[in-house]
Amino acid sequence: MLRVALADAERMDLVPRNVAKAAKPPALGRTERRALTPEGAKTLLSVLTGDRLESLFVLALATGLRRAELLGLRWSDVDLPSGVLFVRQTPQRTDHGLEFVPPKTHRSARPLPLSALAVRALEAQRVRQAKERLAAGEVWSDLGLVFASTIGTAMEPRNVNQRFEQLRAAAGLDWLHLHDLRHAFATFLLDQGEELRTVMELLGHSTIRMTADTYGHVLPARARQGASANDRILG
């Protein structure tokens, strides 16, 4: 961040040179992330059944969307017949409360194809929300959000995390964080042989290196599969 700021200052002739370029940053150690297994995911899905936020958490696992992307999703961004949704806004906390802003990068603002699991979750959410809207009556605020409060307003992100923590404990997954569902989505795809660039596009990463660095623990297994494939070809 400092190097970028000084680069602007250098370009504007405010400083003679960008001294931050000469700095040698410390090496960052890699911490192994505990990964959700398919069996763990199925256990979690069974615990989610019937919960008010079931569809939100299922969609997180089925699409890899970030919490902010889920909470900013509108029905106008979802095309269920075509099986695709578009990330077009996210909530941001300001002095006036939660406000919706466009995604920070063009990579984040992306179309996402929907699996059958994701489509079913959205269909269930539409039914659940219709009942809540009927119950709320005139106090309903029609913001068009897929995941809203019981009166249609934007959901408080911290409340979403708190509910997930309760559900993960019921599933015996005390170590699991909501953001880990995004990682599970990517890990499952790579484990099934999907291309790294495909996963990068789905996650909205800015570079393929970011995807490779984050999910490098999955790639050695794929490399071994490639070596075995070569054995089959050459007999």
Active-site choice (67, 88, 168, 205): 205
Could you give the CA distance from residue 23 to residue 45 in angstroms, rounded to a whole number?
A: 48
* Residue 104 annotated in active site: yes
Residue of 147, 68, 63 lying closest to 111 (CA atoms): 63
Could you give the CA distance from residue 65 to residue 49 in angstroms, rounded to a whole number?
A: 20
Active-site choice (106, 179, 197, 209): 179
* Residue 217 annotated in active site: no
* Residue 222 annotated in active site: no
* Residue 179 annotated in active site: yes
* Residue 205 annotated in active site: yes
Q: How far is CA 234 from the centre of its chain?
A: 41
Active-site choice (3, 42, 104, 106): 104
Phi-psi region of 189 (alpha: psi -120 to 50; beta: other; left: phi over 0): alpha
Per DSSP bridges, beta strands 97-101 and 84-86 are unpaired
Active-site choice (66, 88, 168, 183): 66
* Residue 215 annotated in active site: yes
How would DSSP label each residue in 59-78?
A: HHHHH---HHHHHT-BGGGE
Active-site choice (67, 88, 168, 182): 182
Q: Active-site residues: which are they?
A: 66, 104, 179, 182, 205, 215
